[in-house]
Amino acid sequence: MTRSPVRTAVVWEALRGALAARAAETGRGALDIVDAGGGTGGFAVPLAELGHAVTVVDPSPDSLAALERRAKEQGVGVRALQGEVADLGDLLARDSADLVLCHSVLEYVEDPISALTAVSGVLRHGGAVSVLAANPVATAVHRALTGHFDEALTVLDDPLGRWGERDPAPRRFTSEALTELLGVTGLDVGQVHGVRIFADLVPSRLVDGEPGATEHLVALEQAAATHPVLRDLAAQLHVLAHKR
């Protein structure tokens, strides 16, 4: 079973709402979208299929080549630019985007504030940024479930939410840290959603071959996304913020 619909359902629901609101505000059905760190186009290509003008900025030439192949296979055009998120101001015109995606990026950039400042710079007034970032609380739970209790404890004590020197993620963000970061870069923060609350914990055998199981799991993820307790157990946290 592919977990992709379950893993991304909450994000897509938020994006659809943001796109509809922006289209109504501007009177334009086709919006200008930038996917910063968009890789091989998991979000970019479907957005282009909806008729939007999508630009992907990514440092990896291999990922951009895979993106172009993927877009061609789907019969859509996606602009591919090689570069870092912090370089958006050099690659794109100021105030040129209605929506910027910044998914699984802030954990790895050298300076998250500089990255989000660059994102804000290419956004039009009233435009939105979609931020998706790893959550340290979920990491602690997952390390404990695999028997790494010392690493789980380290995550909870570490200000960057890391479980040790071998941790591939340089940092993770609590909901409070993420909203504070967006606020200091001039963005008005909307509701925080938990992403992959159950999807990474439910064994595939409980879903595979069960009629309607995937749909029910998606519904559960969507219902739990804003739950005041369950949200903070999610593998990732998602925030939509708007440029003032």
Beta bridge partners of 57: 36, 81
Residue limits of CATH 3.40.50.150 in the chain: 4-135+173-243
* CATH class belonging to 4-135+173-243: alpha beta
pLDDT at position 62 is: 98
Cα dihedral across residues 216, 17, 186, 106: positive or negative: positive
State pLDDT tens for residues 118-159. Answer: 999 999 999 999 999 999 999 999 999 999 999 999 999 999
pLDDT at position 208 is: 80
DSSP 240: E
Residue found under tokens 């991304």: 8
State the Cα–Cα distance between residues 146 and 235, nearest whole angstrom. 15
State pLDDT tens for residues 172-190. Answer: 999 999 999 999 998 999 9
State pLDDT tens for residues 77-122. Answer: 999 999 999 999 999 999 999 999 999 999 999 999 999 999 999 9
Residue found under tokens 């050099």: 90
CA 159 to chain centre: 21
State pLDDT tens for residues 5-17. Answer: 889 999 999 999 9
State the Cα–Cα distance between residues 244 and 242, nearest whole angstrom. 6
